[in-house]
Amino acid sequence: MEIDWEQLRTAAVEAMRNAYAPYSNFPVGVAGLVDDGRVIVGCNVENASYGVTLCAECGLVSSLHATGGGRLVAVSCVGGDGEPLMPCGRCRQLLYEHGGADCLVEAVPRPLRVSELLPFAFGPEDLVAAEASKEPKVPSRLLRWRGRGTVFVHPDLAAGQRVWTGYWDRSTGTDGKETGILEEAPTWGTSTTRLPGAGCAHPGSC
C-alpha cells in the first residue's frame, strides 16, 4: 500500500490543533493509515488528575475501532510545531497491538517500524504461550480413571511443581456395599515430565 506521508502529517497537524492540553501546553496530534485505505486521527486530552491524561495515540486507536476496525499501516505523530514526534513507551505498545511489528511511524530521516521502536514487544502471542505453559499433562494412569472419579491438580508454587491426586468417590467392599472414599497417594513432578507411578488405591490397575 502506498503511503502519502505528507497527507498523514497534514491530518495529524489538524488533529493537533484540537488537542486539549491546558496543563502542559504540549499539544499532540496523530494520524494513521488503516489497511483499508481510510485515514483516522487522534489528539491528546489532558486532565486535572494528570494520571488519567490520554495520549493522542489513545484517541487514534479508539477512532480505529469506532470507525470499523482494521490494522494500522502507517502513523504520523506531530507536536505543536508540526514536526514528527516519537510516541512514548505506552503508545508504542498501543501501536504494536493495533498495527503490529511492521507498522511504520514517521521519523527523521526515515520512517521506522514499530519493531525498531519497541523491540521484543509483548503481544497477544505471548499470552497464548503463557496459557499453553500452564496446561497440565495428566499422567496416563490417572486418565484411565476419568469418568470413574475426579482428578485434582494442586499447584505447588514454592517447588515449581504440581501434585496429582486421584479421588474415587465410590469403592466396593467384599459385601458389595459402598465403603467410602479412596484417595490415591500424591505424585510429584513438573508439568512437562512424564510422572512415575505412585501408591494407588486400586492395586494392579494403576
- pLDDT tier, 128 (very low <50, low <70, confident <90, very high otherwise): confident
At residue 140, the pLDDT reads 57
Q: Which domains does the chain have, with CATH numbers?
A: 5-125 (3.40.140.10), 133-189 (no CATH)
At residue 126, the pLDDT reads 83
In 10 A of CB 199, how many CB atoms?
Answer: 11
* pLDDT tens track for 91-102: 999 999 999 999
At residue 175, the pLDDT reads 47
Cα separation, 67 vs 135, in Å, equals 38
Catalytic residue, chosen from 46, 57, 106, 184, is: 57
Cα separation, 124 vs 157, in Å, equals 25
Choose between 199 and 31: higher pLDDT.
Answer: 31
Residue 76 dihedral angles phi and psi, to the nearest 5°: -120, 125
**142 in Cβ contact with 189 (< 8 Å):** no
Identify whether 116 is a catalytic site residue: no
To the question of pTM greater than 0.85 for the whole model, the response is no
Cα separation, 68 vs 91, in Å, equals 21
What is the percent of the chain with per-residue pLDDT over 70, rounded to a whole number? 63
Q: Which of 171, 187, 183 is nearest to 138 (CA)?
A: 187
